[in-house]
Structure 1
């Protein structure tokens, strides 16, 4: 929910969504798995209590969809997983080994995204894919975090320069959706505004999943820890950025769900209108519901459930129960 001034209350076995000027909407509590509130939206105390009893996570975000924190779904009533996580994070050799595989997975998934969805000249695709494959391979020889950052940065520049090649013709020829490079804080154009919102949603999803298994979303391995920054969630989303966030953005743009009138420019930046935010959130939720094959177990699973399983596997990896964390790298 993101409508300013909206109020969510509890009545019997439902949540009631109240928005000024609109009829009340009800949602059965049995159908609620997560609640996400962005901006000045209120949740009554009885509603909070019932969601806590049902172990339903409530995620609090700013109006710009920056993750602020979560209520509920505290995970195991034990510090075992967090203790193992802190021990792992203190081991520089294990951290570097994990970071190498993390960055390699991100680069390879970006390459897969380009390979699967390329709409530009075929001759332009090969050199980009070859360079990304080379950069992914080079991560195994990186000796420091700074070295990995350099490889990741070069791969990101290549990937985002090629991103317009994935746009459908109506989008590619529309001046409003011209895209040259990734920028943020604030995003300067509609495509960057969409990417920023999608990455914020993905961060929220992983922060909730890691908290649910007893991990600390603020204690990172690859990302530097800063106040208010869910560093572990930012770590684990890296391989999923192209496959979930970028994919949702492309889905909304190429399907014509977002148009040039769905964005506002103010204070030197670009943002989505409330309606277009709901549209992109819906596209992201649809992407989470799509099924894939789990990298370790081989069975079909929704992307939403995959993220929850990955959080559990990361906890087991930190504890030394499995030798490697199985990154999601589809072909």
Structure 2
């Protein structure tokens, strides 16, 4: 249980929240674990098997405090809120910006710059930890990509044109995935990466990336819905029917350290191997059904790890990052923050 950005996040299985005077009390097996005054909360987000007393739900709604419910895996389930809500104003601002290229780029450039810096950081880490085992050409290629991605991030952070910003993002992605395969330390000739292929994935690495990205965008979508934003109305990704464009925007700054590092760890530690994939008739490579459980378990364990949030200066679990960034984005759109603070790993 943790309070961040005036939101109480409850992830402890079996927790019970009740009202005690003007306080929210969190209990587990009858033992009080946390007590927070109602006036210090803006919302309550609960994950998994967490119960709220009817009296508390009524008090939260009356005080204008939103209760958001998620599955243990982060899937958005429902929101409970009182009759007076600012969500329509929040979404109106989101839609207004979506139709205004200048409004889009003001937020999207922070996401793109953060994505490039985080991808650069992953490559730097791979060079530092395992560069000795690489060929001279591979080390040179990775070092060149690291240097160019720093320049791309700097350009993206000051870009004022949305189309050029998308060009910066595409350039950084091409550089990153052009050398991503050098971060693999797997002797199996079947585990190779020659570039990003999505629909369908054409090799095991792409299959694993796509699977983990699906889980990340799922978490980002739930986080946006939890704060009252429309996950389909994005600023960087163009709107298409059925496409969660804003969730795709939000996940960009989280991909490298939440998803890509997990993929590299699973492969480099031999937790996932060539036997965990199957090849379809059209050449697509998919993760086998039983092996998905291994990846899902690793994903949930990864989300339990903690870091210090660079903007909030507080400890948080990785699994709460989509929710914190969604909340920061909502505050930016409301005008509470001068600019959106993206998640940049140190």
TM-score by length of 1: 0.76
User: After superposition, where does 1:132-211 map in structure 2 within 5 Å?
Assistant: 132-168=149-185, 171=186, 173-211=187-225
Q: Which residue of 1 aligns with 2:233?
A: 219
SS at match of 1:188: coil
After superposition, the Cα gap between the structure-2 partners of 1:75 and 1:185, relative to the gap in structure 1 and judged at 3 Å, is: farther
Question: Is structure 2 residue 229 aligned with structure 1 residue 229?
Answer: no
| Structure 1 residue 117: Cα displacement | 2.2
CA contact (8 A) 1:252 1:279 kept: no
Instruction: Find 1:288's aligned residue among 303, 310, 320.
Output: 303
- Structure 1: how far apart are the matches of 2:72 and 2:238? 23
Q: Which residue of 1 aligns with 2:294?
A: 279
- Structure 2: how far apart are the matches of 1:207 and 1:158? 27
Instruction: Find 1:105's aligned residue among 103, 114, 122.
Output: 114
Question: Is structure 2 residue 70 aligned with structure 1 residue 57?
Answer: yes
CA contact (8 A) 2:101 2:161 kept: no
CA contact (8 A) 1:190 1:270 kept: yes
Report the structure number with the largest CA radius of gyration. 2
After superposition, the Cα gap between the structure-2 partners of 1:212 and 1:75, relative to the gap in structure 1 and judged at 3 Å, is: farther
After superposition, the Cα gap between the structure-2 partners of 1:71 and 1:297, relative to the gap in structure 1 and judged at 3 Å, is: closer
| Structure 1 residue 123: Cα displacement | 4.4
Q: Which stretch of structure 1 is more off in the superposition, 117-126 or 148-157?
A: 117-126
Q: Which stretch of structure 1 is more off in the superposition, 270-279 or 185-194?
A: 270-279
Instruction: Find 2:101's aligned residue among 92, 115, 120.
Output: 92
Q: Deviations over 1:284-329 (max 9, x none)?
A: 2222111111121211111112221111111110111111111011
- Structure 2: how far apart are the matches of 1:75 and 1:133? 43
TM-score by length of 2: 0.73
Q: List gaps (5 residues or longer) in structure 1.
A: 1-12, 14-31, 36-53, 61-69
CA contact (8 A) 1:103 1:136 kept: yes
- Structure 1: how far apart are the matches of 2:155 and 2:209? 27
| Structure 1 residue 247: Cα displacement | 1.2
- Structure 2: how far apart are the matches of 1:198 and 1:76? 32
For the aligned residue pairs, the C-alpha RMSD in angstroms reads 2.5
Superposed structure 1 runs of 4+ greater than 6 Å apart: none
After superposition, the Cα gap between the structure-2 partners of 1:327 and 1:75, relative to the gap in structure 1 and judged at 3 Å, is: farther
